[in-house]
Each structure stands twice: as structure tokens, then as C-alpha cells.
Structure 1
Amino acid sequence: MLGKLLKYELKASGRTFIPLYIAILVVAVFNGIFINTDIFQIQGIGILVLTSLFMALGVLTIVVTIQRFRKNLLGDEGYLMFTLPVSTSSLILSKCITALIYAVLSFIVAMFTFGMLMLFSASGIHLPEFLDFFNTVFTKGSEYFLDVLLFLVTMLISYSSFILLLYTSISMGQLPRFNKHRNIVAFVSFIAINIVISSIGNAIERILPHKDTNMIYHFYQSPHFALAMLGSIAVVVILFFATKYILDKKLNLE
């Protein structure tokens, strides 16, 4: 059933993101065509439009994450969603995984766009130089493959924590006692939970022994990095079950 929920969520969110991705790529191609010309007005307009689209993408990524959770589970649609033969965990996971997928797609679109612009602007660079550049990148990439992989995993865990923090905060604002101040309570909860997480993290950091890190060349060689990753996973788990508990035991759709 989780697969069906994901399919529904991907389609619903895609109505916002896919047209924006297409617009960004089209404008990027347009910029690439005129990037080596002397028509500075068109170049300026193209860069302005592309910058505006990226800003819109960043804002919409957060807005859609909030709206899909709030309207679909805590609004009028919630009466239907919670009558489906699925667990609350599946509902939360479908929202969270979809938000992660589109965050990754947004990153890929951004990297592809910048790469395309670099390719268009590199008219004076010849093929051997390009091949040498990519050979260097792949050589370094293979040497630091595990570091890159751990970095990407850490980014996914951190963003998952951010998504679930939004969900927990919004759910806390939905508690019956806060009916008249839901948005304010959600915002205050977001700030308060952030402060608590940061305070605990700083306290643990002060307790840990500080060893010489000059000889550490990889992430996996650092015990602090491993502990930080475990802490991030713990935060994700706690926020997930906090959201689940509120939706299971304290849900108020009025």
C-alpha cells in the first residue's frame, strides 16, 4: 500500500515540480545559446529569469512539503486519508519519501543546469582538455568515493530530519488545546525543537574528547563524524515517532 501512496504523492507533487524543472532547463538552454554573444540585455534577462526560477524552486520545495502534509492529512482531506486501510506510518513515510525524492531531483536539475551552462560557455576549451578534466574528476572521485557516499547519505539524513521536524511542529500545532493558534504554535514548536536538538548536540560535543584530526583524511576515520551520523539518525527516528504518536492519539481535524 505504501507503493500506491507514493505513486499518488509523486503525481500530486509533480504537478508543481515538473513544469518548473522544464522551465529551468529551457531557460538554461536559452542562456547557453546567448552566453557567448554580445547581446548583454538578453543575457541579463536570461540570468535574472534563471535565478528567479531557482529561488522559486527552493521556496516551493519547502512550501509543497508543508502543504502536502498539512492539507492532505490535517485538513479536510484527512477525513478520507485516515479511513484508508493503511497505517499512520505509511502515510508519514509516503510524504517524507516523496519530499526527499523531489529534493534530490531538484539538486540533479540544478547540477545539470550549471554543467550545461559551463559547457556552453567553454567555447575556447578543446575536447582533449575536457577529457583530461573528467579523467581527473573520476580519479579523485574513485579515491574519495566512500567519503562522497557518506556525505550524500548524511545530507539525506539531515534533510529527512528537517522534513520530519516540519511534520512534528505542524502536528503539535494541531493539538486540540491550540485550536485558535495553530500556526503560531507550529512555528514556536519548530524553533523550540531546533533549540533542544542543537543544545543536546553541543552538550555531547563538549563531553567528547578532542583528538588531533590532522591525520584524518576521510570521513569514516573520524569518530566524531560517525557519532554525528548516529545522532542524526536518532533525531529522525524520534521525530518520526513523535509525529506518529500525535496523529494516532491526539489528531484533531476540526
Structure 2
Amino acid sequence: MLSKLLKHEFRATGRIMGPLYLVLLATSLGMRVSIQVLNHADSRLLRMLGGVLAMAYVVAILGVCFAAFGLMIQRFYRSLLTDEGYLMFTLPVSVHQHIWSKLIVSTVWFLATGAAVMVSMLVMSVDGTFLPAFIQEIGYVFDAMTAYYALNGTAIVLEFAALCFLGCVAFALQFYAAMAVGYSRPNHKMAWSVAFFFLFQFAMQILGTFLLLALDESPLHHLLMNVDIHITPMLGIHIGMGIMIVGVVIYGAIFYAVTAYFLKRHLNLE
């Protein structure tokens, strides 16, 4: 059933994000043409046109970013917290499947938006000879790498990709948890949602500070300080990435548990 929910969500959100990506690509192409023209022109009209195209490109970037963010909130709100929620919760689907369908779709659009912005910048800023030359240089770099650096470099890229994915999931869950708690209140649900969002942020910051202070005075910290451990820079990078990934997973899991609990036990659609 999760696959059907995902299909429905991608179809509903793709109608908005797809055209926006095309607009972003069109404005980046316009920027590229205007840059090439302005390099060989001395016309006030052309400079004004170039300024308009630059503004349109910036607006397009902001548009796709805000659209991805807005859809994350709008789809969760509309499907689960309004009158439509009565219908959605009568389906033979668990609360967890509802949450994961929203999470997966929102995360995909976040990552796709980041990729679209980078592609648009590449289209805008380079000529036709850049990409082949860049690929060739990357090939030279990989040829010169030893197996040690090639494997570790690949591992770091995969770790960073996992961190980005999990970060997007945790980011969405912060808003889902605040809305789930806010809509358990009898009145002023949206105002409560905003209040709980900032309350959660404050609580997590306080919790993180106390945790760091506790670890600083813990026996484990003193043990590690007295043990002579030689860590290579590459190993240090992997350990740091692993710690960040675990931290993001714990952070997201807390908000996921809050979201699931309030949607199951305390949701007030009236």
C-alpha cells in the first residue's frame, strides 16, 4: 500500500515541481545567452535585459526552493490534518506508512531541487567545452589515485550522500512533529503548531548542551583522553561522518516518534 501512496504523492506534487524545474532551466539558459551577448555589446537596453534575466533566474531558484518546502508542509497538512484526513485514515494503511510516504516524497523533492539548482548553475556559467574537459580531468584524477584513496573517497561520497538524505528526513520530521502536536489542541491549531516548532528547537538545543556537558565529564571521556590512540586523518573523517549520521538519525527518530504517537493517539480533526 505504501507504493500506492507514493504514486499518489508523486503525481500530486510532480504537477507543481516539474514545470518549476523547466522554468529554472529556461531562465538559466536565458542567463547564459545574456552573459554571452553582454560580453560583446555596449547597449543600455541589453544591459537592462540582462538585469531582468538575472532577476528572473534568482526568482526561479527561490521559487523551486520555497515550492519544495511548501509542498512538504502542505501535503502533510492537507492529507492528514484537515477533513481529507478522515478519508486517509479510513484506508487500510498504517500511520507509519502515511508518514513515510510524505517523508520519502519530500526528501526526493529536496534532493531533486538541490540537483536542479546545481545543474542550472552549470548550464548558466559554462560553455560547451567545459563539461567534456571537466570529465577528462576527473578521469586523470582517478587514474592517478591509489586504491586506498579511491576506496576512501568513494566511501566519503556515500557517507555524505547518506547524511544529506537523513538530514532532509530529519528536517521534514521537525515540522511534522510540530503540526501533529499542534493539531491535537482543540483550538488555534496552526498557532500551536508554530509554537511547538520553536519549543522543540529550544528543547533539543538544551538537551544537546546537557548531553555534551555530561559526556565531557563522563568516565568514557577521561578514558579516551588517557589512551594513546593513533588515528589517521582519513579515519578521522570517517569517524566524524559516522558520528554526524548517528546524531541525525537519533534527532530524526525523536521527532518521528512524536509524530507517530500524536497522529495515533491525540489527533483532533474537528
TM-score by length of 1: 0.87
| Matching residue of 1:253 | 269
d(CA) in 1 for partners of 2:34 and 2:142? 30
1:205 is aligned to 2:212: yes
**Alignment counterpart, residue 163 of structure 1, candidates 144, 166, 172:** 172
1:134 is aligned to 2:141: no
| Matching residue of 2:14 | 14
d(CA) in 1 for partners of 2:123 and 2:165? 25
d(CA) in 2 for partners of 1:173 and 1:100? 23
Bigger CA radius of gyration: 2
Shift, 1:228, TM fit: 3.1
d(CA) in 1 for partners of 2:230 and 2:123? 38
d(CA) in 2 for partners of 1:186 and 1:137? 50
User: Helix, strand or coil: the match of 1:251?
Assistant: coil
- CA spacing shift, 1:30–1:79, aligned 2, 3 Å: same
Show the 5 A alignment for 1:2-81.
Answer: 2-38=2-38, 39-81=46-88
- CA spacing shift, 1:205–1:19, aligned 2, 3 Å: same
Shift, 1:4, TM fit: 0.3
- CA spacing shift, 1:190–1:126, aligned 2, 3 Å: closer
Shift, 1:138, TM fit: 5.2
- Higher mean C-alpha deviation, range 226-235 or range 145-154: 226-235
> Do 1:5 and 1:94's aligned partners in 2 also have CA atoms closer than 8 Å?
yes
Shift, 1:168, TM fit: 0.6
- CA spacing shift, 1:15–1:137, aligned 2, 3 Å: farther
Q: Percent identity?
A: 25
Q: Deviations over 1:208-247 (max 9, x none)?
A: 549799952356543x543332222122222212111111
- CA spacing shift, 1:22–1:213, aligned 2, 3 Å: farther
Shift, 1:161, TM fit: 0.9
| Matching residue of 2:199 | 192
**Alignment counterpart, residue 234 of structure 1, candidates 240, 243, 250:** 250
One-letter amino acid of the structure 2 residue matched with residue 170 of structure 1: M
Q: Deviations over 1:162-211 (max 9, x none)?
A: 11110110011111xx3322122111111111122222223333425497
- CA spacing shift, 1:136–1:41, aligned 2, 3 Å: farther
**Alignment counterpart, residue 115 of structure 1, candidates 122, 125, 137:** 122
> Do 2:182 and 2:191's aligned partners in 1 also have CA atoms closer than 8 Å?
yes
Total equivalences in the alignment: 248
> Do 1:150 and 1:219's aligned partners in 2 also have CA atoms closer than 8 Å?
no
d(CA) in 1 for partners of 2:196 and 2:21? 33
One-letter amino acid of the structure 2 residue matched with residue 115 of structure 1: L
CA RMSD in angstroms comes to 2.6
One-letter amino acid of the structure 2 residue matched with residue 135 of structure 1: G
1:217 is aligned to 2:221: no
Q: Which runs of 5+ in 2 are unaligned?
A: 39-45
> Do 1:9 and 1:94's aligned partners in 2 also have CA atoms closer than 8 Å?
yes
User: Helix, strand or coil: the match of 1:202?
Assistant: helix
- Higher mean C-alpha deviation, range 138-147 or range 191-200: 138-147
Q: Which runs of 5+ in 1 are unaligned?
A: none
TM-score by length of 2: 0.82
d(CA) in 2 for partners of 1:138 and 1:107? 25
User: Helix, strand or coil: the match of 1:237?
Assistant: helix
> Do 1:147 and 1:219's aligned partners in 2 also have CA atoms closer than 8 Å?
no
One-letter amino acid of the structure 2 residue matched with residue 164 of structure 1: L
d(CA) in 1 for partners of 2:56 and 2:235? 39
One-letter amino acid of the structure 2 residue matched with residue 9 of structure 1: E
